[in-house]
Structure formats: C-alpha cells, structure tokens
Amino acid sequence: MKLPVNKHIWKKGHLRLWAGAFFFALLLWFLVVSEREYIHTFDIPIEIRNIPARKTLSAEIVPTAEVRFRGTGRALFQSLLLKPLSNFKLVIDLDRIKTEYDFDLNIYFEDHPDKIIIPDGFDIQFISIVQPDSIHIALDDNAVLAVPVRINVSIKPAPGFIQVGPNIYSPRSIELKGPKTEVIPVKTVSTKWHEFKGLTSDLNVTVDLDVDFPQTVEVSPASISIQADIQSIGERIITEIPVQLLNEPAELKVYPNPSVVSLTVKGGVDYIANIDASDIIVSIDFKKWRRSQAYYEPTVIHPKDIRGYSDLSPKNIELVVTRVPE
C-alpha cells in the first residue's frame, strides 16, 4: 500500500537538509583553509602627527593608503571584520619638517616600523605599501581670521502678513583657521541660498554656509541661525500727534492750527500696538510759507517698519504768523 506524501512538508525538510549540509561544508572549508597563510590588501587611515608649532598643512593629503599584509586566513578574516572598530593606522611624524618634504612610504615605514599601528590581538604582518607610493607634505604658517557672514536668503510672508524688522542672524562672523595662503584672502562668506515663502509665523531656522575650502581649513561654526519676525497686518489710529514747525525765524512767532493731528497706521499688529504719538513726526517747514497761503499739508515721517499711513486729519494745517514784540 502506497502512503500519501505531504509535498509541502517534504520540500521544507529538504531545504533545511541542504542548508545544514552547506553550513557544515562551509565550516569544514574554513577550518581547513584558515590555517593557511595568505596575503591581503587593506585600506588603512593615515594620521599626521607633530606638526611644528604655528604651522599647518598647506594642502590636503590622501586619507588612506592601500597596505599589503600577510597572515593566516583566520587572522586576515578577523582583521577584515574588526578593522572598522579597531585602531589601525599609519603614522607620519612631521617633527623635523620645516617647510616641505616628500615621504617615500615604503622606505619610511621600513625605517620606522613603530609607525605602523596594528592593535593587539591581530596576528598579521606588514609587507608593503601598494599605493600611494609617496606623499608630499607642504607646511604653511597657521592663520586664524574672523570673517563676516552675508545672509543669502529670501523671506516672503503670505498675503496679509508682513516682516517686522530686519533679519536677525547669529553669529555675524565665523572663524577660519588654516594655511595663511588660503585663509587671509577671504573677505566674506555667504550662506547657501534659501527661499522661504508663504510665511504666517516667525521664522527660526539654521542654514549652512556656502563654503568650498580645502580640508586644511577649519570653519567654525559651519551654520548660521536666522530669525525673522512675521506678523499679521493690521491698522491702528494714532491721535494727539503734535505738529512741529521747522525753520521758524527768530523775529516771528508761528502757531500751527490745529497743533495736533491724527492718522491711521498700517503694519504688523504686535508692532503697531506699541506705537505712540512720539514715534511719528508731523512737521511743516516755514520756508514754504507764503503771505498769500494760509494752509499747508504737513510732512509725515514714521518708523520704517510701519507699512504706511492713511486718514491724516486734518490734511492741511493753518499757520498763524505774528511778530515777536520788541
């Protein structure tokens, strides 16, 4: 009698059998080959040490070198896995360099094997540098310079809203530190271009600087904080604004009639709420006075953050002129 076969169960068990066999074969292969000796190439970071006082690198150097190592398969495999977490490095000491020098890396590390930093527990041996075969080191005087920042942004409030006051940004200057030939010619730096449209509330953002300096130049900080006061637009009537008389002659006494006016200002609601009569100048210049003319339209000067004014009352002021008694 033929027994029924569950194909799904068979396929699942078959897959597990093959996976187990593959893992066992891989483990057996690793145990066999891991004790053999191999050669492998790693990318190792280059570290520059002991730059002379008041000096700095005048040009970038390659950050890593391809280095050939020898070791057992197990040791090389361990190194490959743990290298990102370990302190592998090649150290170049500049203690005796004055201005510039060409380092032949293979000769340098043969003469200074202690500059090849291999962490404890890694049983591999240095063979040679594959590339670069040499590094040119050039030194320059170290310079520190404070450079003003130029804000490169466009701020556009939504309809019915207005920006009150200028952009506030911090810091207003940044510090450059690096080779004198790179740092000293810099006169200003700008932020990257940003456009902020349709704003209905205060803007408070951080923008990056638009700089393209070599890695030898340190920029601090690399971003700028920008703030803008965005308010809804409103109107407010200001009363009892005194009329001032300009260029009044000493032999005459001039009286504006009436002596006060009122008007309606337009601007950010929070801003105009704090405006009073003393913030607005209403004046008439006596140089415009003519015997045949009694009424004059005054000049109005208001703070620049007021969007405008209307409904000046009265629109014309009478000048009453009398002589000063002798």
Domain boundary (202, 232, 262) is at 232
pLDDT tens readout for residues 182-211: 999 999 999 999 999 999 999 999 999 999
pLDDT at 135 over 90: yes
pLDDT at 5 over 70: no
213 shares a domain with 240: no
Residue 288 near residue 255 (C-beta atoms within 8 A): no
SS3 track for 61-130: CCCEEEEEEEEEHHHHHHHHHHHHHCCCEEEEECCCCCCEEEEEHHHHHHHCHHHEECCCCCCCEEEEEE
Residue 11 counted as domain residue: no
195 shares a domain with 280: no
Domain boundary (132, 149, 177) is at 132
Which amino acid, one-letter code, is at 1? M
Among 88-97, 218-227, 308-317, which is the least confidently predicted range?
88-97
Among 35-39, 69-73, 166-170, 285-289, which is the least confidently predicted range?
35-39
259 shares a domain with 287: yes
Distance CA 308, CA 303 (A): 9
pLDDT at 71 over 80: yes
pLDDT tens readout for residues 304-326: 999 999 999 999 999 999 887 76
Phi, psi angle pair for 63, to nearest 5°: -75, -20
Work out whether the CA dihedral 71, 76, 82, 85 comes out positive or negative.
positive
242 shares a domain with 158: no
Give me the pLDDT at residue 23, please. 57
Give me the pLDDT at residue 120, please. 84
pLDDT tens readout for residues 164-175: 999 999 999 999
Residue 219 counted as domain residue: yes
pLDDT tens readout for residues 94-123: 988 888 899 999 999 999 999 999 988 888
150 shares a domain with 66: no
Distance CA 189, CA 169 (A): 14
Residue 25 counted as domain residue: no
Instruction: Tell me the helix, strand and coil percentages in the chain, rounded to 5.
Output: 20, 50, 30
pTM: 0.67
pLDDT at 283 over 90: yes
Q: Which residue segment(s) compose the domain that 305 sits in?
A: 235-323
**pLDDT confidence of 43, banded at 50, 70, 90?**
very high
Kind and range of the H or E run holding 55: strand 55-57
Give me the pLDDT at residue 9, please. 46
Residue 40 counted as domain residue: yes
In the chain, the number of structural domains is 3
CATH number at residue 211: 2.170.120.40
Domain boundary (83, 106, 132) is at 132
pLDDT at 10 over 50: no
Looking at the chain, list the stretches that DSSP marks H as alpha helix, in order from N- to C-terminal side: 7-33, 73-82, 105-111, 180-183, 269-272
Residue 97 counted as domain residue: yes
Lookup: tokens for 208: 């990056």
Distance CA 117, CA 69 (A): 13
Give me the pLDDT at residue 65, please. 94
302 shares a domain with 228: no
Residue 198 counted as domain residue: yes
Give me the pLDDT at residue 33, please. 56
Give me the pLDDT at residue 300, please. 96
Distance CA 101, CA 55 (A): 14
Q: pLDDT averaged over the chain?
A: 88
pLDDT at 7 over 60: no
